[in-house]
Copies of this chain bind each other. A is one copy, B any other.
Amino acid sequence: MPQDKKVSLVVIRRLPRYYRYLSDLLSQDIRRISSKELSERMNVTASQIRQDLNCFGGFGQQGYGYNVEYLHEEISKILGLDQGYNTIIIGCGHLGHALANHPGFKRRGFRMIGMFDISEEKVGKQIAGIEIMHTSSLESFIEKNPVDIAILALPKEGVLDISQRLIASGVKGLWNFSSVDLEVIEKGRVAVENVHLSDSLMTLAYKIQERETYKNQSE
């Protein structure tokens, strides 16, 4: 039964992980897998896997388990990876450069069709085969080439202005690498996914500290 009510974000965030493990299984030529076996590989409970998948429908078979290829395909549909997304990058610093060259994206249907920067000296150069344009030509570009996703890899000072222009131009999703919480500002007007690298690093610092104190306690 296909998705009677809104699925919570914690479940959604686990789907890419399932997808990843299923890809691995496929490349090992494993054709079927039970929730129990998968749960051991992933270090989660089998219950959770079954619950998660059943938010979207019954993909398995009693006594058999899940067909790896089928489930892989279904999750890709759920995530919308079969849609294809025209993607641009705003900000061609080191990070924008790295993201443009990230191998995984193209493979999953994210087509890089434009790169933008505010620096005159970068404009005209190429990154990953794409010519850098000046940010001022953002609107005219999007008008000719519909854009689904914009990757924000620019300093946070410029983010607010740019994101408003992007939304006005009809961009559907923002992948934000700057340290502002865009979803708070643009609440509901666009899909936002933040990647707060600094936050993640701070979390690591905490985990290290925690581990040290834990170690000392058990001595």
A residues lining the B interface (CB < 8 Å): 12-13, 15-17, 19-20, 42-43, 78-81, 83, 85, 93-95, 97-99, 101-102, 104-105, 108, 110, 148-149, 172-173, 175, 179, 181, 184, 187, 190-193, 195-212
Contact = CB atoms under 8 A, between A and B. Distances in A.
A172 B212 contact: yes
Contacts of A196: 16-17
Number of copies: 2
Contact of A200 (B42, B101, B175): B175
Nearest to A195: B200
| Majority-rule SS of A interface residues | helix
Most buried by B among A17, A184, A201: A201
Contacts of A172: 208, 211-212
B83 A205 contact: yes
Given A12-B206, A195-B200, A17 B212 contact: no
B205 A173 contact: yes
